[in-house]
Amino acid sequence: MLRLDQVSKTFDSHRGVHHMDFSMERGEIVGFLGPNGAGKTTTMRMITGYLRPTAGKVLLDGKSVHEQGKIVRSRIGYLPETPPLYPDMSILSYLKFVAKLRDVPAREQTRRVDEMLSRLGLAGRERQIIRTLSKGYKQRVGLAGAIIHKPDLLVLDEPTSGLDPNQIMEIRNLIRELGDNHTVLLSTHILPEVSTLCSRVLIINQGQLVMDGSPASIGSTMNQSFHVSLTVKGDANMIIPLIQAWGEGLEEKVQLSSHQEEDGLVRLELNASAHHDYREELFYLLARSELPILELKKQDQSLEEIFQKLTTDEAGEVNSGEDGSLPVSAPEQELEAQRGSEGS
Ligand SMILES: Nc1ncnc2c1ncn2[C@@H]1O[C@H](COP(=O)(O)OP(=O)(O)OP(=O)(O)O)[C@@H](O)[C@H]1O
């Protein structure tokens, strides 16, 4: 449905987004991850037609977002990091205004606004002035404005940033529901959000895509070492030499990295730079010596660890390209930009 074909946006010699190349299928919820300044917002602005790429194409069902702008952009909904709200308007007048701006047919506008009020849990508050709403409710109004024209593709820039845990849960549930009818690309710094919401993850670092896959497949690609913890019932003086001798005898040596004894149980951690999963061999080794394994767990790297590995350099420094902040657009600029005009 969405295709980014070698898309780049160069701000200066090193800042920007370089050769971004990926596709999204209908119905996917894709998480977009990266450290501050990695290029998430820039990529999202190019997808939504607000920024014109320096090179490459953004295509929605084969049509260019930038060449066949208005029609293509009417199929995209965008919630920027700071939703483009007018604080002095009521929710109702704001949604009516956005419905008009997004070319919802006049005879449908009232029905569509009502639908948004009820879908986003705003019914009963329609007369409330936006500035008096909590951040979570402002986010709902922003989301309502982003989907009022029933876009096929929804682009959400850090939709849960700055919300309290209850509001985060509410917005996540809403996004999950929206995923039933929309294709969703969402950027976030909250990694568990990706595991719970997204079928696919794109990790971007210094303007380049460094990983693309399901959270599970990213885990298995990155987990190319063998790390297990196990608890064995028996005497440490038997268990430890047995495991050490076995580990030493393997081609890809498995090493005992720690052990503890307590109440007749021995807890061990084993490591190897190996692709092979040695759990079955370990089971038979200890079973033959009548040493029961009470627990055996393969430790995979969490998404947090993978993210850290992909986005830090060898010295452990975060690869942030951020050295200037984006100008904050006025609501009108954002809305107009979504409607059709383009920035640089
Ligand atoms: N209009 C602009 N002019 C100059 N440089 C810019 C502009 N917009 C973004 N940049 C630079 O491009 C890089 C990517 O910024 P971008 O805002 O896309 O990152 P991000 O991944 O969204 O970061 P964050 O997580 O902090 O929101 C940064 O180095 C930023 O300073």
The predicted complex's ipTM stands at 0.95
pLDDT, tens digit, for every residue of 52-109? 999 999 999 999 988 877 788 889 999 998 888 999 999 999 999 999 999 999 999 9
| Residue 167 belongs to domain spanning | 2-220+320-338
Ligand 1 mutation pick, 13, 14, 41, max ligand atoms within 8 A of CB: 41
Classify residue 315: in a domain, yes or no.
no
Q: How far is the CA of 206 from the centre of ligand 1 (A)?
A: 10
148 versus 164: the higher-pLDDT residue is 148
Q: Rounded to the nearest whole angstrom, what is the distance from the C-alpha of residue 327 to the centroid of ligand 1?
A: 10
Q: Taking CB atoms and a 6 Å cutoff, what residues make up the pocket around ligand 1?
A: 11, 15-16, 34, 36-42, 321-324, 326
Predicted local confidence at residue 318, as pLDDT: 53
Task: From the CA of 322, give the closest atom in ligand 1.
Answer: 29
**Residue 29 alpha carbon to ligand 1 centre in Å:** 23
Q: Which atom of ligand 1 is nearest to the CA of 207?
A: 14
In this structure, is residue 147 part of a structural domain? yes
- 169 and 289 in a single domain? The answer is no
Please check the confidence at residue 158 and state whether its pLDDT lies above 50.
yes
Q: What is the pTM of this model?
A: 0.74
Query: Would residue 74 count as lying in a domain?
Result: yes
| Co-location of 122 and 203 in the same domain | yes
Q: Tell me what percent of the residues of the chain surpass a pLDDT of 90.
A: 54
Same-domain check for residues 108 and 203: yes
Range in 3-12, 15-24, 133-142, 221-230 with the lowest mean pLDDT? 221-230
Residues 230, 204, single domain; the answer is: no
Whole-number Å distance, alpha carbon 37 to ligand 1 midpoint, is 5
- pLDDT-based confidence at 327, cuts 50/70/90? very low
Please give the pLDDT value at position 339. Answer: 46
- 324 C-alpha to ligand 1 centroid (Å): 7
Structure confidence at residue 315 as a pLDDT band (50, 70, 90): low
Q: Is residue 305 part of a domain?
A: no
**What is the per-residue pLDDT for 334?**
46
Distance from Cα 43 to the centre of ligand 1, integer Å = 9
CATH of the domain at 230: 3.30.70.260
Pocket test for ligand 1, best of 203, 310, 322 (most atoms within 8 A of CB): 322
Mean pLDDT, the chain, rounded, equals: 85
Write the secondary structure of the chain as one string of H (helix), E (strand) and C (coil). Answer: CEEEEEEEEECCCCCEEEEEEEEECCCCEEEEECCCCCCHHHHHHHHCCCECCCEEEEEECCEECCCCHHHHHCCEEEECCCCCCCCCCEHHHHHHHHHHHCCCCHHHHHHHHHHHHHHCCCCCCCCCEHHHCCHHHHHHHHHHHHHCCCCCEEEEECCCCCCCHHHHHHHHHHHHHHHHHCEEEEECCCHHHHHHHCCEEEEEECCEEEEEECHHHHHHHHCCCEEEEEEEECCHHHHHHHHHHHHHCCCCCCEEEEEEEECCEEEEEEEECCCCCCHHHHHHHHHHCCCCEEEEEECCCCHHHHHHHHHECCCCCECCCCCCCCCCCCHHHHHHHHHCCCEC
Residue 220 has pLDDT above 60, yes or no: yes
> Structural domain tally of the chain?
2
**pLDDT tens column, 34-55:** 888 899 999 999 999 999 999 9
Query: CATH number, domain at 151?
Result: 3.40.50.300
- Nearest CA, atom 2, ligand 1: 326
Q: Do 32 and 180 fall within a single domain?
A: yes
